[in-house]
Structure 1
Amino acid sequence: MTTTDSSDLVRGVGVSPGRAAGPVAQVRPPAGEPDTGPPVPEDRVDPEAERIGRAAQAVAEDLERSAASVEGERRELLETTAQMAADPTLVGTAADLVRGERLPPERAVWQAAGTVAEQLRELGGYMAERARDVADVRDRIIAELTGAPVPGVPQRAEPFVLVALDLAPADTALLDPERVRAIVTAEGGPTSHTAILARSLGIPAVVGLRGALETLTDDRTVLVDGGAGTVRVDPTEEEIAAARRPAATTRPFDGHGRTADGHDVELLANVGDPTSAEAAEAANAQGVGLFRTEFCFLDRTEEPGIEEQAAAYGKVLAHFPGKKVVIRTLDAGADKPMPFVVADDEVNPALGVRGLRTSRHAPEVLDHQLAAIAQAAADHEADVWVMAPMVATVEETEAFVAACGRYGLTRAGVMVEVPSAALLSGPILARATFASLGTNDLTQYAMAADRLLGSLAELSDPWQPAVLRLVEATCAGGAQQSRPVGVCGEAAADPALAVVLVGLGVTSLSMTPRALGEVAAVLQATDLQACRELAGAALAAESAADARSRVREALPVLAELGL
C-alpha cells in the first residue's frame, strides 16, 4: 500500500471506474485451520467419514441454488465452484484420512484440500487459479461440518463498501450492486474474478491495496475511486456527497461511438456465450469485438463436432445481423487446459503451447473450427471476422490467413498479445486484414508479471508506459498497411484509458456491455486532437500511476460523470 500527499489517501490498482462512499464491511473470514484433536474412535470412523460427503453435497446444492438465481458468467462461476464441492477427489481424500489416520472430519478436509490445492498450483496458469476455489470450498465444507457461519459477504441493513483479502469466485458472483457500493481487496489484479465481475456489475473497485484489512476496518467510512485506484479514509461530508453512488442501471449508449468532433470509434462488446450476446445486443453494441469460443470446448475430453459448434456459434451470430462479429479461434492452453490439444505437463504453460500454437499438434481441431465458423456465417447475416490468439510471427500469420482462406473466411486477423507481434505489426498486417490487441496478455508478457498473481498487480496494469508503447507500435503498423487495429482486452472498459487508446490510433474498442455507455460518454466529450495529446502525455510518463494521473487530471468529464 502506498500513500499519496495526504495521510488519509491510499492507493491500489483501479479496476472498475466509478466513485462511491460508505461504511466498511469486511468479508467474514473462515474459521481457520482446525486443530488435529483426539483421534476419532474406531467405532465412529465410518460415520464420521460419511459426514464429509454429506457436507460437501449440502455445499454443492447451496451453490447450485445460488447459481440458478443469476445469469451468464456469474452462473458459470457458481456452477464451477459447486462442481468442485462435489468433486470425489477432495471428498475421497478427506474420507481416507478419517479412516486411515482417524482424523476428525474438519481436519481431514483441511489437509485434503491442501494437497489438492498444491497439485493445482504446480500445474500453473488457470489450474493454479483454481487453488483459490479449493480453499473456498474447503472453508464452506468445514463450516457445514462444524456449524460455524459460512464465510463470505456479510449481510447488513445499509449499503456498504466490501473489503477483503480477496474474493472467492462464488462470493463475487453473488454480489448485489444495490447493497455493495464498492469493493477493495488487498490482493487480486486487473484480470481477477473480482475485477471482471465488478466491471460487469458497474461496482467501483480497487484491488492490490496492501494492508487493506488493517487500514480499512469495519464501519470506518471510506470513499473509493475505482478509476483513479484510490481509497480515501474518513472523507468529508462534501466528498461523500460528491461521490456517485453506483447505479443499478447501465448508462445508455446510442449505438454510435465517436469523439466530440465526429471521429468514428467502433464500440463493441466482448461475449463468451449466447447469454452474454443477448446483453451485448440489449446494450446497443455496434457488434462483437471478441467472441470467445471456449464455451464449446471447456470441461470436455474431446472436441465438439462441426455441426455442434456451428449451431452454438449461430446462437451468437443471430443477435447481430449486419453487424461485425469477431470470432476468436480456440484459445486453449495456459489458463484453459484442454486435453485434446494441449499436454498437461508443461513446466510453464503461460509460455507454452497455447492459442494458435496448438494447431501444430492438433491441426484438425483448427480446421474443424474454421469449417464450423464458415457454416455458421453462411447461415446468418452477421459480418463475420476471424482472428487467431497468441500469434508471434509473420509465418504464423501467413499460415492462419491461408487456413481461413480455404474455408472462404476472408476477414482473417490476429490478436496482438505477444510483444513480438506488436513490434512486427507492419509485416504481420501486410498479411492479416486486421489486428486486435489483447491487453491482458500483452501486459503480462511485456512486464514479465503473471496476471493472476495479486502481489504483482501494480505491474499487471495496462497503464504501464511500456505497454502503451507496444499499442502505439501496433497502431503504427496498422496505419502503414491501412488496416484497422482494435482493443479487446479489459483496458478498453476504462473510460480514461479508452481516450488514450483512441489517441494512439486504435479504431475500435471492445468491452463488457455495461461499460459501453460510460466509454461512449467520455469519448463524446473529447475531440480527437485532445485524445492524441493525452496519449502523448501517457507515453511520456515513467510509471502507470503517473500516466493515469496525468490523463485523469486533464479529463474533467470523468468527475462530471462520476468516473
Structure 2
Amino acid sequence: MTTSTLVESPRRVLQGTPVVPGVVAGPAIVPAPRVQPQINTDVVPEAERDGELQAFRAASAAVAKRLQDRAAVSSGSASEVLAANAAMAADRGWLGAAEKLIAAGGSATSAALAATEQFAALFTKLGGLMAERVTDLHDVRDRVLAELVGAPEPGIPVPQVPSILLADDLAPADTAGLDPTKIVGLATSLGGPTSHTAIIARQLGIPCVVAVAGLEAVETGTSVMLDGEAGELTVSPDPHTAADAVARYRLIAERTAAWTGPGTTSDGHRVDVLANVQDGAGARVAAGTSAGGVGLFRTELCFLDRETEPTVPEQAAIYRQVLDAFPGKKMVIRTLDAGSDKPLRFAEHPDEANPALGVRGIRIAAKDSGILDRQLDAIVDAAAGLESAPWVMAPMIATATEAKSFAEKVRERGLVPGVMIEVPAAALLAERILEHVDFLSVGTNDLAQYTMAADRMSAELAELTDPWQPAVLSLVARTAAAGAAVDKPVGVCGEAAADPLLACVLVGFGITSLSAAASAVAGVGAKLESVSLDDCKRAAAAVLETSDPTSARAAARIELG
C-alpha cells in the first residue's frame, strides 16, 4: 500500500488532451519501477540451455494464463485488450525468436529482452496503430522477466485513500485492472484520445487526461486536481478552490446518475443515445444502462487470434448474445474492421509500409468477398425471429461505388445497409453515398487521423487528433447536413460521442444518434436533457468559427454552460 502523506510543491497547471470528463482531487501516485534484472551476457553452457528454455516457456505460459484469466472476468474493451496481451505472451513469433537465442547460448532473461527489442523495432517501423503495441509488448516482457527472477508482477500500487494516478503510459493490463474507487483520476504523459488507456478509462468512468506535458516532475504524494473536461492537472491547488470544483462536478454526477432516458434535449428533440459494444458480456453491461440500443457492435472479437475463420454458426452464436441483450431495440452492427493493428491470420494480409492506409475494413472484401458474405449470412441467422432487422454498416468506405456494392449485399439478405464515414473522401461525397445506403455513422477516431494526417496513437500529435479539431468537425457537420437533406439518419459512434459537451455540438450539426462506451451513456443523455436544440445549434455554429480545439471548447462552453 502507498502512504497518503502529502508533498509540498509549487502551484502550477499542466495542460493535456481531455479524454474522460470529471473533476477529482487527491494525492498523486505513480507506478512502481519495473523489474530491471541483472542480465548475464556470458554464453550459457550447452548442458544448461534446456533449463533456460524450460524456464522461459514456463514464465511466458504463466503470464499468458494470468492475462487470459483477467480477460475472462472482464468485459468490453478491457477484456479485448487483456486477451490481446495474453495472445502476445503466447505469440509463436516472439517465443520462437527468444527460443532461438536461448539455443544459441543466451539466458532466458537476455533472450526475452532481445526478442522483445526485435519485435518492438518492427512495430515501430510499421508505424500507425502497430506502434501502439510496443507498450503492450514491453509490458508482456516485464511480466515475463518478473516471473523469471521471482519478483512481484508489475502493476499499479494500491493507495490507502482515493488517489490520482500519474504515469508515462499504462499497459492495457494495468489500465484494465484499475479500481475506480481507489484510482479516481488518471493522467499520462503519452497516449492519445483513442489509445488503449483512454478507451479503458472511458469504460471504467475514470476522469482522464493524456499527453500531459511536465507530468514527470510531479512527485508521489503531491496534492493535485484533475479536470477531465478541460484537460488540466493542477498541482498543489488551493484546497478551497479544489473542494468547490469537486462539489460542483458531484452535482453534475448526481444529475447524470438520475438520467433514465430516452435521449432528448430540454425542448423534446429526440436523439438516440446508444452504446458501443463488442461482445455479449459487454452488451449485457450496456443493457444495464439507459442506452436506447447499440450504435456500434464491433464484430472483430470473434475473428482475432484465430488460425481459421469462424464458421457461420459460430459467428451467429456470438452475434445472438449481443442481439438478445437489447431485445426490440436499435442494433447497428459493423462488419469486420480488421487489418492495420488488427490483422487476421486467415486473411493473408499483405506486408504494407503503412497498414493504416492499406487493406483494412471493407477493402478485405475486395480481396476475398467470401469473408463478408459469410459474416452477413451469420448476422441473418443470428437475427432470425427478431421483431426488426439489424442495421449493418461497412467500415473504411471511401467511394460511392464501394457503398453501392455493400448495400446490394446487405439488402439481398433483408438487412438495413449503412456505411461508416471515416475517410475524408466519404464525408465529401456523403450525398452520393446516401443514394445507395439508408444511414451513415461517423467514426470520429479514424476521421480525425485521416483528416489531420496524424497517427491517432501518437502522444506528440494528440492535439491534432483531438476530436474538437474544427477541420474534423466541419466534415462531421457536412455529413450531417447531407443526411438531413434526404431525411436519412446520421449518427456518431466514435469517441467524440462520449464527450457530453461535444455531444451537444454534434446534435447542433444535425446528428441524430450518439453511441459511446456504456459508462458514458448517462453523462451524454443528462447533458443533452439540460440544453435546448437551439442552444446546440448556436454552439455548433460558434465552434465552426474557431480554428483550434481549445477555442472550440471555449466557444461551446459559452453557449452551453
TM-superposed deviation, 1:279:
1.5
Does the C-alpha gap of structure 1 residues 377 and 46 become closer, same or farther in structure 2, counting only changes over 3 Å? closer
Does the C-alpha gap of structure 1 residues 252 and 375 become closer, same or farther in structure 2, counting only changes over 3 Å? farther
The structure 2 residue matched to 1:433, chosen from 415, 425, 438, is 438
Aligned equivalents of 1:386, 1:107: Cα separation in 2: 49
Aligned equivalents of 2:71, 2:302: Cα separation in 1: 20
Aligned equivalents of 2:346, 2:45: Cα separation in 1: 46
Letter in 2 for 1:369: Q
Q: Please, which moves more after superposition, 248-257 or 169-178?
A: 248-257
TM-score normalised according to structure 2 size = 0.92
Does the C-alpha gap of structure 1 residues 400 and 60 become closer, same or farther in structure 2, counting only changes over 3 Å? closer
Query: 2:271 maps to which residue?
Result: 265
1:531-552 CA distance string (max 9 Å, x none)? 0111111111110111112223
1:396 aligns with 2:402: yes
Q: Please, which moves more after superposition, 296-305 or 495-504?
A: 296-305
TM-superposed deviation, 1:132:
1.9
Letter in 1 for 2:264: R
TM-superposed deviation, 1:38:
4.2
Letter in 2 for 1:61: K
1:62 aligns with 2:66: yes
Pairing 1:185-264 to 2, within 5 Å after superposition: 185-214=188-217, 216-244=218-246, 251-264=257-270
The structure 2 residue matched to 1:163, chosen from 154, 163, 166, is 166
Letter in 2 for 1:354: R
Does the C-alpha gap of structure 1 residues 415 and 525 become closer, same or farther in structure 2, counting only changes over 3 Å? same
1:165-210 CA distance string (max 9 Å, x none)? 1000100110100000100000001111111111111100000112
Q: Quick check: 2:14–2:215 contact (8 Å CA) kept in 1?
A: no
Query: 1:561 maps to which residue?
Result: none
1:540 aligns with 2:535: no
Pairing 1:131-150 to 2, within 5 Å after superposition: 131-150=134-153
1:37-69 CA distance string (max 9 Å, x none)? 544455544323432222223333333444454
Aligned equivalents of 1:500, 1:171: Cα separation in 2: 33
Query: 1:348 maps to which residue?
Result: 354
Q: Quick check: 1:333–1:342 contact (8 Å CA) kept in 2?
A: no
Q: Quick check: 1:123–1:345 contact (8 Å CA) kept in 2?
A: no
Query: 2:302 maps to which residue?
Result: 296
The structure 2 residue matched to 1:378, chosen from 384, 399, 403, is 384
The structure 1 residue matched to 2:50, chosen from 41, 46, 50, is 46
SS at match of 2:384: helix
1:458-493 CA distance string (max 9 Å, x none)? 111110000010011101111121111100000000
The structure 2 residue matched to 1:329, chosen from 335, 338, 341, is 335
Aligned equivalents of 1:510, 1:364: Cα separation in 2: 29
TM-superposed deviation, 1:85:
2.3
Query: 1:11 maps to which residue?
Result: 15
1:307 aligns with 2:310: no
Q: Please, which moves more after superposition, 326-335 or 13-22?
A: 326-335
Letter in 2 for 1:368: R
The structure 2 residue matched to 1:466, chosen from 460, 466, 471, is 471
Aligned equivalents of 1:426, 1:538: Cα separation in 2: 23
* Percent identity between the two aligned chains: 49
SS at match of 1:315: helix
Q: Quick check: 2:261–2:525 contact (8 Å CA) kept in 1?
A: no
Does the C-alpha gap of structure 1 residues 517 and 127 become closer, same or farther in structure 2, counting only changes over 3 Å? same
Query: 1:274 maps to which residue?
Result: 280
SS at match of 1:253: coil
Query: 2:509 maps to which residue?
Result: 504
Does the C-alpha gap of structure 1 residues 390 and 91 become closer, same or farther in structure 2, counting only changes over 3 Å? closer
TM-superposed deviation, 1:7:
6.8
Aligned equivalents of 1:416, 1:99: Cα separation in 2: 50
1:184 aligns with 2:187: yes
Aligned equivalents of 1:88, 1:392: Cα separation in 2: 35
Q: Structure 1 stretches of 5 or more lacking a match?
A: 1-5, 557-563
Aligned equivalents of 2:232, 2:112: Cα separation in 1: 38
Letter in 1 for 2:184: R
Does the C-alpha gap of structure 1 residues 381 and 311 become closer, same or farther in structure 2, counting only changes over 3 Å? farther
TM-superposed deviation, 1:32:
4.3
Query: 2:7 maps to which residue?
Result: none
Does the C-alpha gap of structure 1 residues 140 and 336 become closer, same or farther in structure 2, counting only changes over 3 Å? same
Does the C-alpha gap of structure 1 residues 367 and 184 become closer, same or farther in structure 2, counting only changes over 3 Å? same
1:475 aligns with 2:480: yes
Aligned equivalents of 1:188, 1:90: Cα separation in 2: 24
SS at match of 1:182: strand
Query: 1:97 maps to which residue?
Result: 101
SS at match of 1:22: strand
1:30 aligns with 2:39: no
| Number of residue equivalences | 548
Aligned equivalents of 1:519, 1:220: Cα separation in 2: 32
Query: 2:116 maps to which residue?
Result: 113
Letter in 2 for 1:30: R
SS at match of 1:457: coil
TM-superposed deviation, 1:83:
3.0
Query: 1:555 maps to which residue?
Result: 560
TM-superposed deviation, 1:76:
3.1
Q: Please, which moves more after superposition, 460-469 or 327-336?
A: 327-336
Q: Quick check: 2:129–2:356 contact (8 Å CA) kept in 1?
A: no
SS at match of 1:378: coil
Aligned equivalents of 2:26, 2:216: Cα separation in 1: 16
Query: 2:292 maps to which residue?
Result: 286
Does the C-alpha gap of structure 1 residues 23 and 448 become closer, same or farther in structure 2, counting only changes over 3 Å? same
TM-score normalised according to structure 1 size = 0.92
Q: Please, which moves more after superposition, 234-243 or 276-285?
A: 234-243
Aligned equivalents of 1:261, 1:367: Cα separation in 2: 44
TM-superposed deviation, 1:498:
0.3
1:528 aligns with 2:529: no
Alpha-carbon RMSD across the aligned residues, in angstroms, is 2.2
Q: Please, which moves more after superposition, 46-55 or 233-242?
A: 46-55
SS at match of 2:332: strand
Q: Quick check: 1:394–1:427 contact (8 Å CA) kept in 2?
A: yes
Query: 2:323 maps to which residue?
Result: 317
Aligned equivalents of 1:530, 1:516: Cα separation in 2: 20
